[in-house]
């Protein structure tokens, strides 16, 4: 087994030609979306997660051309997005990103011709050889000081006196800057990077049932940094929105483990005010803080709101999708079986309006729902503007069961019609009465009429109806309805 060691003296050769000083007014804007992908994937340029970083940095320049460098960059940085703008008289003549990370194969390839020290172990015997590296691959070939050639087919470790040219331990940007005089020049730096994302975590506490439902809600932003770099003392803005991004073929770099330096974390006493940001919504934190690589921070985003009007109900859905057939479906067995089990779901609905005691932008995220201390379930919501409706699925109900059957089907080709009778049996094993909303799709053809039903129905759209079915405690009831489909003479039926 091979192991590798880079001499401690190498670290001295990594000193940048001119190290910038960061100002305190750096800003980081993170866009929502891709949270799970960022948490579960390796960082790469063009990968999941999207953020914009802006900072003011300064370089001490001499008159004439200067070579300056900047490290500590995210491994997910899009180098094509990086812009460095002088605020004074200096001019940027060239920019280069060095991304060849110091893996051992690359080290050996770039170290050909250099002096190398190699440790070799055979049994309990350990020997050290120092010489000029003249070949690397399937072992190492060294030219020793006395002129002999030593071929090592296996080795334990190697040591280099310096880092080979073109190799860096982190992505490094280099510029050629021409200055008309010796001076300190300030620059505005900006770039985009992947590996940063956030989402909202909501906690909802529900009281009451049906339209007597009231709920309390608060939300926090979970912010993850998997970019490969620390962002220290930045003003953070979270944007609820996902701008369109085009694929970008960027050089890949690998993230290496690094010790976490404890910095002041992002803090806020309450949710920040929301404001417009282009086509999206932005939340600016009031204080600077730090987002270390490999961290997840929780920040207040939506303040606790009480007594939000809601509706909590039970529902069944027999939904075959939105597909509209090109002709009437005359197969008697389509879409129905005898005693077909249909899940009864608990749902929570509310309108994001001021009338409901809400009416604020709700960023996308996950809602965890409770009834006092009892966990009910969780569901995701999309970005929700004011006055939009929200429907959440809580979970499957234990004490309510439903079965669906086709009772009859008749077709009359001469009358260009077919009639179908459906029954849904509902069983309530609860100690209290319950009402179940039965949602049905009428899928056989676009033109239909309800011939009969033992309970009132409501037409929801062109092909959907619903029935509110009350069931007393510890009992069962059956909903039965008959629907007739008709078609015009120009509609051809399948053979």
Predicted local confidence at residue 70, as pLDDT: 87
Predicted model pTM: 0.74
What count of other Cβ atoms lies within 10 Å of the Cβ of residue 460?
Answer: 12
Quick check: 1 pLDDT over 50?
no
Supply the Cα-derived Rg of the chain in whole angstroms: 34
Predicted confidence at residue 270, as pLDDT, reads 65
Query: What pLDDT is stored for residue 2 in this prediction?
Result: 39
Q: How far is CA 381 from the centre of its chain?
A: 13
List pLDDT tens digits, range 27-46.
999 999 888 989 887 777 77
Query: In the chain, pLDDT over 70 holds for what percent of residues?
Result: 86
- Confidence at 242, pLDDT banded by 50, 70, 90: confident
> Smallest Cα–Cα separation from 349: which of 379, 389, 397, 308?
389
Mean pLDDT, residues 239-243: 82
More reliable by pLDDT, 19 or 123: 123
**Distance of CA 226 to CAs 55, 170, 237, 266, 282, Å?**
20, 15, 17, 16, 21
pLDDT tens digit sequence for 247-283: 654 444 443 333 334 456 555 666 677 776 667 778 8
Q: How high is the pLDDT of residue 262?
A: 45
Query: Any idea of the CA torsion for 367, 41, 284, 259, to the nearest 10 degrees?
Result: 120
- pLDDT, one tens digit per residue, over 361-399 is 999 999 999 998 899 999 999 999 999 999 999 999 999
Query: What count of other Cβ atoms lies within 10 Å of the Cβ of residue 359?
Result: 16
Domains defined along the chain, listed by start:
104-160 (2.30.30.520), 309-486 (no CATH)
Average pLDDT, the chain: 84
């Amino acid at each position: 087994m091979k192991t590798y060691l880079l001499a401690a003296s190498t670290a001295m050769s990594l000193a940048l030609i001119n190290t910038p000083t960061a100002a305190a007014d750096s800003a980081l804007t993170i866009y929502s979306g891709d949270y799970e992908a960022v948490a579960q994937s390796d960082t790469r340029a063009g990968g999941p997660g999207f953020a914009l970083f802006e900072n003011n940095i300064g370089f001490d320049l001499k008159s004439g051309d200067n070579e300056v460098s900047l490290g500590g960059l995210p491994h997910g940085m899009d180098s094509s997005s990086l812009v460095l703008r002088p605020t004074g008289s200096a001019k940027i003549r060239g920019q280069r990103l060095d991304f060849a990370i110091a893996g051992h194969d690359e080290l050996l390839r770039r170290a050909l011709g250099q002096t190398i020290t190699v440790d070799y172990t055979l049994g309990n015997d350990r020997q050290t050889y120092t010489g000029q590296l003249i070949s690397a691959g399937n072992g190492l070939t060294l030219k020793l000081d006395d002129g002999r050639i030593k071929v090592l087919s296996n080795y334990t470790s190697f040591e280099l006196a310096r880092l080979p040219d073109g190799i860096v331990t982190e992505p490094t940007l280099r510029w050629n800057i021409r200055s008309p005089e010796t001076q300190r020049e300030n620059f505005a730096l900006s770039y985009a990077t992947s590996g940063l994302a956030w989402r909202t975590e909501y906690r909802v506490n529900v009281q009451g049932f049906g339209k007597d439902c009231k709920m309390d809600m608060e939300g926090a932003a979970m912010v993850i940094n998997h970019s490969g770099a620390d962002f220290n003392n930045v003003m953070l803005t979270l944007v609820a929105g996902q701008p369109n991004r085009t694929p970008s073929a960027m050089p890949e770099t690998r993230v290496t483990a690094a010790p976490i330096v404890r910095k002041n974390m992002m803090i806020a006493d309450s949710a920040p005010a929301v404001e417009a940001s282009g086509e999206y919504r932005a939340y600016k934190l009031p204080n600077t803080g730090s987002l270390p690589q490999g961290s997840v921070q929780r920040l207040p985003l939506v303040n606790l709101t009480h007594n939000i009007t809601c509706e909590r109900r039970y529902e069944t859905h027999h939904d075959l999708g939105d597909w509209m057939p090109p002709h009437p479906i005359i197969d008697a067995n389509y879409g129905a079986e005898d005693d077909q089990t249909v899940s009864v779901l608990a749902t929570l609905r509310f309108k994001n309006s001021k009338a409901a005691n809400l009416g604020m932008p709700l960023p996308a995220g996950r809602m965890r729902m409770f009834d006092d201390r009892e966990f009910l379930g969780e569901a995701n919501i999309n970005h929700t503007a004011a006055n939009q409706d929200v429907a959440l699925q809580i979970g499957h109900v234990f004490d309510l069961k439903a079965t669906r059957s086709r009772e009859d089907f008749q077709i009359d080709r001469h009358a260009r019609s077919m009639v179908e009778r459906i029954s849904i049996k509902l069983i309530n094993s609860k100690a209290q009465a319950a009402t179940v909303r039965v949602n049905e799709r009428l899928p056989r053809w676009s033109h239909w009429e309800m011939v009969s039903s033992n309970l009132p129905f409501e037409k929801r759209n062109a092909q959907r109806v619903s029935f509110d079915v009350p069931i007393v405690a510890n009992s069962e009831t059956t909903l039965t309805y008959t629907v007739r489909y008709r078609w015009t003479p120009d509609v051809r039926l399948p053979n």
